[in-house]
Chain A
Amino acid sequence: MSEGKKVVDGLYYSKDHEWARIEDGVVVVGITDHAQHALHEITYVEISEVGTVVNAGEECGLVESMKASSDIFSPVSGEIIEVNTELEDAPEIVNEDPYGRGWMFKIRPSKLEEDLKSLMTSEEYSKYIAELQE
């Protein structure tokens, strides 16, 4: 497991420690390295069903670690079009590769430009988590 400091350039970040990557007009969402490191030992991931329409900042899933349950919030508004089913049997992938194979769901965004304004860049998020750790 990594040390929880990795931040990837080109992604958008929420204060709740989700990341969003834009791929051909679709938004891929996961939780950050900082989040997986703080949770440790992720044992369970559940995301709302495909077809669910969510607003930015709305709860749309949960992550369980050995110690606690945490909500997942969607960083953007839109419709969930795919959920990473690999995590059902192997939730530890989120610990191992939070920005890659540990992605959680894909959203067809409904008002992407507006939603992106309230998310952070990688530089801003790096600063944000550095402040949290002080």
Chain B
Amino acid sequence: MAGRAYSGAPMNTGLKRTHLYEWHVKHGDIVEFAGWEMPVRFSDIREEHMAVREAVGIFDTTHMARFSISGPDAVDFLQTVTTNNVRKLRINMGHYSTCLNERGGVRDDLMLYRVGEHEFIWVTNASNASKIWGHLQEHSSGFDVHLEDWSRRVVMIAVQGPNALELLSRMANTDVRSLPRFSCSRMTLFGQDCYLCRTGYTGEAGGEILLLDTPFNDEGRRKAIEFWERILSTGEDLGARPCGLGSRDSTRLEAGFVLYGHELDEDTSPIEARIPYAVKLKVEPHYIGYDVVYRHKKEGAIRKTRIGFVMVDRGIPRQGYRLLSDGNEIGVVTSGGLSPILGKGIGMGYVSPGSVDEGDTIEVDIKGRIRRAEARKWPFYDPQRYGEARNQ
């Protein structure tokens, strides 16, 4: 037997650890991810997955990078490097966006939070942290902006699931249910100075917490672990469970969210990735890559398009497998796995534009075994029963 499962096992030095590592290593299984030693699971990925869908899951997301961007030119600068409409982003709100290269390919996707008239927080993927930091440095010359890397002094924790807002309300000692989706509010949680963002990456309601003033030293780590443990104990009766990267990936896949290195890369535009809400065309100044996404969005000049699919036959799709239609190759799988909710293999991938409609039967080449799948729009779960918009 051989496969990728073993690649994460032995640890090399030189990998980064979050403030919560000491807790993770005691309670979970550690793997290497994007240069970090992170917990892949604390108990069982499916159990953690179901906690997110039916109760509340707690994720350490401190490995993601957080950059502070401030100064009189912050809006103009950010509009040159991101595709959503920065000018329209209200204070105490966040939006999903992308950062492009000159060819309209995605350098990274990100959450941008406006925390003041001239103050923003950019949250970006761990795998792209140094690339994006370099990109921001390079393109900020000539703008009156100040860039700071907060990644090492702000801990980030996601609280996700149908019971998440109840748990966050307990932490805040006030009802946070009225906070709108995508809001980002400075508030005290367990007596600590935080930003509470009503965002997440699982499809469920909840929040992402930035725990401020948490330097990467003994005191900061102690503070972070105390905070983490208090979330778990406060949420115990709500079914709160610590969750690792395994369920982070399985929940985002089931929700149909794109992941950098899978659905997004430097050769894929956000229009091809079908994340049009991250891209605005009525913006000033035009951002890097604007002309390409303009053509993709306005003229439909795309080279490929993202699809979702659910397996009809047995089998689990994985990144790199070929997608076929009546035996002809039409594209490639970018993410795949088992959906714990459906009990079936699900996946996303890219196909030639117009080659597949929703409901069509396609085939997946699973290591030489040709298996049928049905093209389906995400999310893959029933949105009446699961996810943020479920019937309460």
Partner of A46, one of B4, B40, B314: B314
A44→B315 contact, CB < 8 A: yes
A-binding segment of B41-49, B222-230, B266-274: B41-49
- A41–B2 Cα distance when bound, in Å, is 16
Assuming the A-B contacts A41-B44, A44-B315, A46-B369, are A70 and B2 also in contact, with contact meaning beta carbons closer than 8 angstroms in the complex? Answer: yes
Q: Which residue of B lies closest to A15 (CB)?
A: B2
Q: Which residue of A lies closest to B9 (CB)?
A: A38
User: Which chain A residues numbered 74 to 92 have a C-beta less than 8 Å away from chain B?
Assistant: 88
Q: With a CB–CB cut-off of 8 A, which chain A residues contact B41?
A: 40
Assuming the A-B contacts A66-B46, A71-B367, are A44 and B314 also in contact, with contact meaning beta carbons closer than 8 angstroms in the complex? Answer: yes
- A10–B45 Cα distance when bound, in Å, is 34
- A88–B315 Cα distance when bound, in Å, is 11
- A112–B283 Cα distance when bound, in Å, is 72
Q: With a CB–CB cut-off of 8 A, which chain A residues contact B337?
A: 66
Q: Which residue of B lies closest to A64 (CB)?
A: B316
Q: With a CB–CB cut-off of 8 A, which chain B residues contact A31?
A: 1
Shortest Cβ distance from residue B243 to the other chain A in the assembled complex, whole angstroms: 12
Bitwise interface map of B from 1 to 30 toward A, beta carbon under 8 Å scored 1, else 0: 111111001000000000000000000010
- A35–B315 Cα distance when bound, in Å, is 20
- A122–B1 Cα distance when bound, in Å, is 17
Q: Which residue of B lies closest to A31 (CB)?
A: B1
User: Which chain B residues numbered 226 to 247 have a C-beta less than 8 Å away from chain A?
Assistant: 246
Q: Which residue of A lies closest to B45 (CB)?
A: A66
A-B interface pairs (CB < 8 A), number: 71
Task: Classify chain A's interface size.
Answer: 20 to 34
B29→A40 contact, CB < 8 A: yes
B1→A69 contact, CB < 8 A: no
- A40–B337 Cα distance when bound, in Å, is 14
Q: With a CB–CB cut-off of 8 A, which chain B residues contact A35?
A: 1
B338 near A: Cβ within 8 Å? Answer: yes
Q: With a CB–CB cut-off of 8 A, which chain B residues contact A88?
A: 314
- A8–B250 Cα distance when bound, in Å, is 34
Count B-side interface residues using an 8 Å CB cutoff.
Answer: 26
B318 near A: Cβ within 8 Å? Answer: yes
A123 near B: Cβ within 8 Å? Answer: no
A124 near B: Cβ within 8 Å? Answer: no
Partner of B4, one of A18, A43, A69, A73: A69
Q: With a CB–CB cut-off of 8 A, which chain B residues contact A64?
A: 316, 338
Bitwise interface map of A from 26 to 50 toward B, beta carbon under 8 Å scored 1, else 0: 0000010001001111011010000
B5→A43 contact, CB < 8 A: no
B6→A38 contact, CB < 8 A: yes
Shortest Cβ distance from residue A64 to the other chain B in the assembled complex, whole angstroms: 4
Q: Which residue of B lies closest to A18 (CB)?
A: B1
Q: Which residue of B lies closest to A30 (CB)?
A: B1
B315→A46 contact, CB < 8 A: yes
Q: Which residue of A lies closest to B338 (CB)?
A: A43
B369→A70 contact, CB < 8 A: no
Q: With a CB–CB cut-off of 8 A, which chain A residues contact B46?
A: 41, 43, 66
Assuming the A-B contacts A43-B338, A44-B316, A62-B367, are A67 and B1 also in contact, with contact meaning beta carbons closer than 8 angstroms in the complex? Answer: no
A69→B318 contact, CB < 8 A: yes
Assuming the A-B contacts A46-B314, A46-B315, A67-B40, are A41 and B45 also in contact, with contact meaning beta carbons closer than 8 angstroms in the complex? Answer: yes
Q: With a CB–CB cut-off of 8 A, which chain A residues contact B314?
A: 44, 46, 88
Q: With a CB–CB cut-off of 8 A, which chain A residues contact B318?
A: 68-69
Q: With a CB–CB cut-off of 8 A, which chain A residues contact B2?
A: 16, 70-71, 73
A63 near B: Cβ within 8 Å? Answer: yes
- A64–B44 Cα distance when bound, in Å, is 15
- A35–B5 Cα distance when bound, in Å, is 9
15 contacts between A and B (CB under 8 A): A18-B1, A35-B1, A38-B5, A40-B44, A44-B316, A44-B338, A44-B345, A46-B369, A65-B5, A67-B5, A67-B249, A68-B4, A68-B318, A70-B4, A73-B2
Closest 7 CB pairs of A and B: A70-B3, A66-B45, A68-B4, A64-B316, A68-B5, A43-B338, A17-B1
